[in-house]
Chains A and B, each alone.
Chain A
């Protein structure tokens, strides 16, 4: 977070992280669509339209004489580009971890979560706010909240939201929740 008393601007960075195809880019696009800012997202994509490096967008809100400028990034989930993920995480104030609740992808979710834990250690979820999205919640075979919480060994206090990014269900709520923790 950067607080500039000169121009009265607070800059903050939120990163969407998670395994490949879990819905990180969709979540960001849906969020920006809801806020009427869909043109503000830029993506570094592969030739097949998947995230090669990151998606990036910024949102700006005014309150009295202060401006809050939020930078929203998503890291690529593709393991081939794993080396680029720490660049995306640099300087982040909060993380939205996007779980794909399909049972056969549980291991991928755990691997991605473990990777985050290796980057941040005990700070994850304590000094560094995290919110977890259980995405694709509408699938009949979706893993239960308890199963994911147990598999990821989530600490108490980490908010978990069942979400459907394609339909916008709980997308704003999860983003709002991470911001609340960042600005606590």
Chain B
């Protein structure tokens, strides 16, 4: 069998599992190569493939030992599955909610094992496909037409000033400390606001948290979009499966709750009960944070300071 036949056969096998709607192989830049299953349109597959590549890329940036990303939504599940030792390609699956995840993951493992040597030995096969700018524009024009209308501002595009008081931050830290005490070895655990702003960590916030918070928020928000594209529905949680850890991301209304746990230390059923309790309490606490109607008095001095700081880097003349 040639490479493409092997891949097609494996994708069809995955697709035939009860509850699986679609399976597809993508090049890491997001260009879909082969798929099995029925799609609403080519736009849908391109849109999901592009979002899947963003998810895959960010998850790989966050973690070096990625196995898969599982997005669990109200009406569907979505899986982005890495090939061991090959980051040029990845598999994606869309499924209904009532599926046997164990069976799917077992089959995925077999499929990746079968496909991987072919990808490894095939050189440039299957080709890394790309599309012209015109084709891309045409795809996206049609794609956007199917989407939530772009003129209604996305709920996530909000720009407001949030003021956190000392007591509120203390409350949030106490919640995180409580959670990490219950879940031995939950490191790191943090809360971020929409946009990726880190607001509290189980330890003290440190500079490294900024990047982690930004990337984790970006990953979660993209997962949210995939659920919207496929079923126009919300998501409940995102799980990133790693060799020895699970990274869980939950919605807190105004942001996300993120925690990473050693596999041996977490019972998934218990976690699924426990985490929503915490995310609700975090959400309630954050509601106490005031939306700043007016910027505080410290803005003007900060403005003057920033102006002075950047003036030392300014260019006076046009070069050349």
Contact = CB atoms under 8 A, between A and B. Distances in A.
A26 interface: no
Interface stretch (B17-25, B63-71, B137-145): B137-145
A42 to B, nearest CB: 6
B131 interface: yes
B166 A119 contact: no
Nearest to A138: B320
A142 B157 CA distance: 33
Contacts of B307: 176, 180
A34 to B, nearest CB: 5
Given A52-B30, A81-B30, A87-B218, A58 B164 contact: no
Interface string A82-109: 1110111111110000000000000000
Interface string B233-252: 00000000000000000000
B33 interface: no
Contacts of A79: 133, 136-137, 140
B156 A184 contact: no
Given A56-B215, A91-B193, A176-B307, A119 B315 contact: no
A42 B310 CA distance: 22
A47 B128 contact: yes
A63 B53 CA distance: 40
B73 interface: no
A61 B147 CA distance: 40
A80 B210 contact: no
Given A11-B197, A71-B210, A89 B306 contact: no
A91 B197 contact: yes
B54 A44 contact: yes
Interface in A136-184: 137-138, 162, 164, 167-173, 175-176, 179-180, 183-184
Nearest to B221: A87
Given A53-B57, A128-B159, A92 B195 contact: yes
Given A60-B207, A87-B222, A91-B193, A3 B164 contact: yes
Contacts of A138: 318-320
Interface string B190-230: 00011111110000010100110011011001100100010
B301 interface: yes
A173 B50 contact: no
Contact of B306 (A90, A127, A179): A179
Contacts of A53: 54, 57-58, 218, 222
Contact of B158 (A48, A90, A171, A180): A90
A52 B160 CA distance: 27
Interface stretch (B97-105, B112-120, B180-188, B292-300): B292-300
Interface residues of A, number: 71
Contacts of A35: 313
Interface string A1-17: 11111110111010000
Given A52-B30, A80-B140, A83-B225, A92 B159 contact: yes
Q: Counting chain B CB atoms within 10 Å of each CB, which of A1, A66, A78, A120 scores highest?
A: A1
Contacts of A162: 318
13 contacts: A2-B199, A58-B210, A80-B131, A83-B50, A87-B222, A90-B154, A91-B159, A91-B194, A91-B195, A164-B319, A173-B314, A176-B307, A183-B303
Interface of A: 1-7, 9-11, 13, 34-35, 42, 44, 46-48, 52-54, 56, 58, 60-61, 63, 66, 68-69, 71, 73, 78-84, 86-93, 115, 118-121, 123, 127-128, 137-138, 162, 164, 167-173, 175-176, 179-180, 183-184
Interface of B: 28-30, 46-47, 50-51, 53-54, 57-58, 61, 88, 128, 131, 133, 136-137, 139-140, 143-144, 147, 150-151, 153-154, 156-166, 168-170, 193-199, 205, 207, 210-211, 214-215, 217-218, 221-222, 225, 229, 292, 295-296, 298-303, 305-307, 309-311, 313-315, 318-320
